[in-house]
Structure formats: structure tokens, C-alpha cells
Amino acid sequence: MKMKTSEFLIIFLMVTMIFSGCDDHEKDEREMHAGFEHGGPVTGVAFSSDGFTLATASMDDTLHLLNVEDFHKNFDMEHDYVGVPEELPASPMIGLGSGFESVAFAPDRPMIAAGNYTHGFGGMVQLWDTGEGSLIAELYGPRSPVSSLDFSTDGKTFVSGAGGELDFPDVDLWEVKRLEAASSFDGYLGGVYDVDVSPDGRMIAAALGNGLARVWDADLNEVLMDIVYESHRPYAVAFSPDSNSIATAGDDMETGIGGHTGIVRIWDIATRSLVASLDTGAGHIRTLAFSPDGTLLAAAGEDHIIHLLDPDFSEEVETLKGHAGVINEIEFSPNGQILASGSDDHYLRIWYVGDLAGVNCSDGVDNDGDGWTDDLDPDCGEGNREIGYSEYECNDEEDNDGDSLVDAEDPECEDGYDSESPDGGVPDGGGEDAGPDASADDGGADDSGAHDAGTHDSGSMDAGMKDAGPDSGAFDAGTD
């Protein structure tokens, strides 16, 4: 039977409306910025110390190394999906076990540690050379799958946690040079869901299946603090960047029978007291991560959403939506600009959060991508946080002062502002310009209005490390 043109158009429009309706939901503006698909659940993510390489672990028994250097910049917020990171030549690496459950990057060398399990031998930690993709060593000892790993900041040791709810529990500290366990931390029952080494290297924390989040002295193997979850259990622990506090979360039903979960608690280690309680309104939290400057705490788990929390003001800053499964692991890049997450939906996702993390104004990084670094950025006058674009900044594509000159074309942008008066309304401070041409003496007068011709940043994003000097307009290579 031949279909009439009018009938075809009606059916086509109906189908279009149906599929459009399926996609008509509230989207997060950062949704699905970048992704990489595995053949199984993504159980671990880890950044190299320079932030340019991202390692992922999966239950498909593979490790992948991804080049994420180009993702240290503002994503185009008008598009949901901006690309797939390039895979490095050494990738993938095959575990020959039951599947990887964790991964950690050594801070001082091109090496990763990855947790796996083999029947007959038990849990094992594999050490891989990330430059050659070769297996360095296999370390045996844990009796169950190694579910969590973390290196000390000096790279000399790393801690491993093994065991699920019904498995044998193990928390071990390994010496990298000797390739053997230096000590084991015991005195608990149940599995080990998460481990973390404090940034100062003095403490080790673990989320345990017996309802405790425990903190040990790393050298003395003594218990410093126990956080009791009564008949329930914590799944995640994370030390703050200053090592003074610890965040915990998990299967938290302390609000009563049938009460909601998703509560993140922050504890002062010295006083062993609760200092903040942040309610995400979500399901069980499986993973936690502080931003490098401590201004954000990321929490994620069973509701498929990453919750970005302000640990100081106990409020939610933003949510990151895009995963379609339980989120197993999250980690910030060393400069705090991007966040990586791995999920049961088989996807690694990369999110730009540099404008939210509030990275400080003394890190040598153009954190918000406006072409200005540290104290030269007008944002750094607002609470000492380099966090984005102010009303009259010279990267907003607006002619803020009505002189028909936009952003870098406007001579007033010498000091970072495009406003109604010379110097953007910023006083010269008694003879010196407030902007990047501060070495020139203005003699107490306002700027002449001449453009500085390359003395300030061009607006191109830094790669996440210190500038090599005044930007020439090219993308920084990431070296000092």
C-alpha cells in the first residue's frame, strides 16, 4: 500500500514529537562534557601529578591512560558533549584477573597501582609503568579484591584496602622501594570500602564494613579516631587538604527507620568532634573528594549525580548530571579545574569545575580562563578567590562602557576591566598602574589609553600549570 505524502508528514511529525519529548528534561549545563566508554563498570579514576594524564580502572579488567591536557580549560557550555580524550600509546593494559576495582597514580614517577583479584591467589596490587605500559610487579597479600588505593604525597608508600561486606578485610601499607607490605592495620571486622592517606602523610583512614570510619597514625599503627555509624556503615572517607579534618558518608539512616540517606559529615580530627553536616538529599554516598584548595567537597553514589558542596557554609553549590548508573569514584585534577568520575554505566566522564572550585590567587594558574593570573586577575580582589568573570571583566564579550570597543580591543582592558573610566575604575595607587603594566610609572596620572600590546594574557587558557611568563597568545605547554 502506497502512503500519501500528507500521511507520511503526519507520521513523521508525530514520531519527531515523541522523540523530542523523551529528551525534554531539565539538563545540567555541564552535562556530559566529555566521556570515555569502557566494557564494564568504571571503578577507579586517578590523575597524574601534572594533571595531564588520567588513569581509569574497570571491571572489564583493563586500565586506560588518557591525555586530558586539552580539558584544562573552559568547556563550551552551549554543547552537552565536547569530545573524547585521546588514549595514550601505552594504553590499554590488561590485568589478567577478575577485574580492576581501584587505581592510584604515583605522585613522583610514571607509575600506577591497580587493585585486582585472582581466584586461588586472592587480592593483588599490580604496579604498571605508564610510559611503556609494562607490568612492574604484582604484590600479593590481601585476601579479597583490592577495592581502594591511595599513595602518600612523597610517593614512598601507598595504602590498600580490600574486602566487601562478606569478604576478608585488609588495610595494608606498602613500601614502593621494597615492593612489600610495611605494616597491616587490624582490629576490625567487615570489609574495607575506601581508604585515604592524609596529605601530610601522618594518617590513614578507612571506611569499614563494621560501621566504623577509622583513622590510624600511619607510623605508630595506633587508632586515633573512630567514627561510629551504629548499625549502618560508611562507604567513603576523604581527608581535607590541610589534614585537619575528615569527611565521611555512606549508608546513613540515623534520621530514623525509613529516613533518607545522602548525608556527608565533616569531623575535626584534633577534637574528634562533628563540625558540619551536609545533606545532599541523595541515596547512599559511595565516594568523596575534596578540591585541592578545600573550597569544594564532591560527593556521589547511588543517585547517579555528583553533588558539589561548600564544606564551610554547609550548602550545595552545584550538581553534575549525566551518569546513568551508580558513581563509584570521583577525583579532582591537581589544579582543581576538572573533575573525573567513573560509574557502573561503563563511562568515565570529565567535568569542568574550575569556575566553581575557587582556586586561590597564588597558584600561578589562570584558573578561570580569563587571561589573568593570580593577583593580576580582578577576581582576586573579591575574597582572594580566582573564581570567574566579574561584571565588567574583559572577557565577557560585552561593551560595558559604551565606547564601541569590546574586551581586548578596549584600551581600558589593560587592568582587566572594561568599564566607564580609565583603569576600569581601579585607582593607580599613587603613581603605578594597577594592571599588568605595573612596572611603568604613570607619574600619578591615569593611563594614556594605549594598549599594552601583549603585556597581559590573551585570554587563552593555561594548561593548568604556571605561566612561562607574559602570555604570547599561545596555549601554555604546562611548564614553569
CATH of domain 34-357: 2.130.10.10
pLDDT tens by residue, 406-458: 777 877 776 556 665 433 333 333 333 333 333 333 333 333 333 333 333 33
pLDDT tens by residue, 28-44: 445 557 889 999 999 99
pLDDT tens by residue, 270-285: 999 999 988 888 888 9
Kindly state the percentage of the chain with pLDDT values over 70: 66
Tell me how far apart the alpha carbons of residues 427 and 443 are, in angstroms, rounded to a whole number.
13
The domain locations on the chain are 34-357, 366-480
Band (pLDDT 50/70/90 cuts) for residue 114 is very high
Q: H helices of 266-420, where?
A: 354-357
When mean pLDDT is compared across 217-231, 329-343, 424-438, the lowest value belongs to 424-438
What pLDDT, on the 0 to 100 scale, is given for residue 449?
Answer: 36
Strongest mean pLDDT among 157-166, 185-194, 238-247, 333-342: 238-247
* Residue 284 DSSP SS3: coil
Band (pLDDT 50/70/90 cuts) for residue 55 is very high
What pLDDT, on the 0 to 100 scale, is given for residue 477?
Answer: 34
pLDDT tens by residue, 348-378: 999 988 777 555 666 666 665 666 777 777 7
Is 97's pLDDT higher than 70? yes
* Residue 327 DSSP SS3: strand
Is 141's pLDDT higher than 70? yes
Quote the Cα angle for 188-150-160, to 5°: 40
Is residue 214 a contact partner of residue 206, using CB atoms and an 8 Å limit?
Answer: yes
Q: Which helix (H) or strand (E) holds 12?
A: helix 5-22
Q: What is the mean pLDDT of the chain?
A: 76
Adjacent-strand bridge partners of 35: 349
pLDDT tens by residue, 77-86: 555 556 788 9
What pLDDT, on the 0 to 100 scale, is given for residue 372?
Answer: 72
